[in-house]
Chains A and B, each alone.
Chain A
């Protein structure tokens, strides 16, 4: 069975006065058909840019390189612009964080849904309108016939996100990428939208990629989670295992910093800040903030290697019995070389 989504060694660089800046650095991710994958990371970790690159939506000066970028087995990189547009928006659709600003304010929501159907499914006006009403009903908008003629500013944020979802599922995509779909919404509405996304995913066997900074949202919904930091995937494992038994020190630190995991009346923090894009460390990108960092970790960038039930980018994964001995040995070695 071909994977719904394949990304191999994706690099996205933006030119700047001080040389190219790497927003996405060697990201590989595969999503199987019908799988729910979460991508978590703090701001600037490259989670959005990686997905925009896949959609061909990163703005022009950026350079996108990859060994493979494929949707449903179609290699997106080798397609012409025309062929690419036929796939994107049809086989793979994306919804965004701010539903009200993602919709065109000058057209009714009905027009915007019908446009997708007319372009990709070659429907005539009448058929497109009938299908749009059906779609709005499916995403749970009351009185869809009248809502079709509403402009985005006349609807609430939750309703607009439902419209975005209706547009995204209009052509029965194989993959739906949801970039922080509920961050701008209230919790009770967030629950409604997540339930809606999950019900479509289950009914249609669609793959769902959920980008979020909220660990709890992802923990409950995803089958598998990729944790990104400074443009790289640090850990990629089944959701339950990753949350109960993180293998990368960054994942562990991120989980410990959540208000839910308080110890007494304080929270664990991660010292320092994410490295700036034009001053990236030579070795492991997390080494400057990692309590386990050794001279080896500072010098040598670890690969994303298979580990247990997934992949981890760390010289000393947390569940490795030999890690303490190896950390001690590597520190010892460095001390001897220095003296």
Chain B
């Protein structure tokens, strides 16, 4: 099976000025990330705010152009101007906030029909039929087509946003925190819907989330980001069972889960450094409980350890340690 999305060393750097006479500085939002997504699979991008996951989403959706690296989607190079229209149809977006991402002045029917008017030559009857089919697929009833977004609850609005993303039969859906604004019971409905649609339509998802419980439920593969770089990437079960990067370990340990001995847990210290001020060695060195001299000097490259890619000098040692010792750093 050939991969649907191949990202090779994607990077995005912004130039910012902090004052009128200051020289411009480089802010590296995404600093060289590689991954692949197969059809009907889900790759979750995990990380805290400021790690560059949303910038990565903007690169994959071609809202933003990479400064370096290549992106191939369904065999088409994202830099090829001739393929631009096909590429944009192949990739669609679902946003976090269903209250802000739907036009309040249009009916649901009009919102869903718009992509068809712009991108297809279907006549009115054909478009209406496609809209009705898609509404049924995401669990909306035909009379909803005449209503406006404000008449729906958050969960139903997210269904509308998903339906809109699917109108042009995309191959990849980039979902940026699609369930974080929803309540638990509604979140479960939307996650089930995403899984059903993936099986029925063979969709690939790039699923961006900070909620590890949700990621563990929906993803096949996981890519953990920190300060614009990938620190661990591979099969979900492997990473959740045996995280080999100290940052992944910290994230998993800090995620609350019922039945965990939280009261005795000691969280990692400090906060994510400014992306204008990235440490020269390992990006995680300022907060890592295992940081050594070598980590401050030499940035670890992504390499294969224990069946996944990881960027840590000590990954082999973590693999050799008993899992309990890794889960509870002194």
Chain A residues proximal to chain B, CB less than 8 Å: 42-43, 156, 158-159, 186-192, 194-195, 198, 213-217, 219-221, 243, 253-254, 257-260, 262, 265-270, 273
Contact = CB atoms under 8 A, between A and B. Distances in A.
Contacts of A270: 185, 188
Interface stretch (B71-79, B103-111, B260-268): B260-268
Given A195-B266, A257-B187, A215 B258 contact: yes
Contacts of A265: 195
Interface in B177-213: 183-189, 191-192, 195, 210-213
Given A257-B184, A257-B187, A268-B188, A187 B48 contact: yes
A259 B184 CA distance: 9
B153 interface: yes
Contacts of A217: 256
Interface stretch (B18-26, B166-174, B247-255): B247-255
Q: Among the interface residues B188, B217, B259, which one has the most CB atoms of the partner chain A within 10 A?
A: B188
B194 to A, nearest CB: 11
A188 B268 contact: yes
A215 B153 contact: no
Nearest to A45: B183
B92 to A, nearest CB: 23
A188 B188 contact: no
B216 interface: yes
A219 B251 CA distance: 18
B262 A221 contact: yes
Contact of A219 (B189, B191, B258): B258
B189 A269 contact: yes
A48 B322 CA distance: 44
B13 interface: no
B257 interface: yes
A42 B185 contact: yes
A31 B90 CA distance: 55
B272 to A, nearest CB: 8
Contacts of B269: 192
B185 A216 contact: no
Given A188-B250, A220-B258, A265-B195, A195 B267 contact: yes
Contacts of B153: 273
Nearest 7 A-B pairs (CB), nearest first? A220-B262, A191-B267, A186-B48, A259-B217, A191-B254, A42-B183, A267-B188
B256 A219 contact: yes
B49 interface: yes
B277 to A, nearest CB: 14
Contacts of A262: 217
Contacts of A198: 263
5 contacts: A217-B256, A219-B258, A259-B217, A260-B257, A266-B195
B271 interface: yes
Contact of A42 (B49, B184, B258): B184
A165 to B, nearest CB: 15
Contacts of A189: 48, 271
Contacts of B251: 187-188
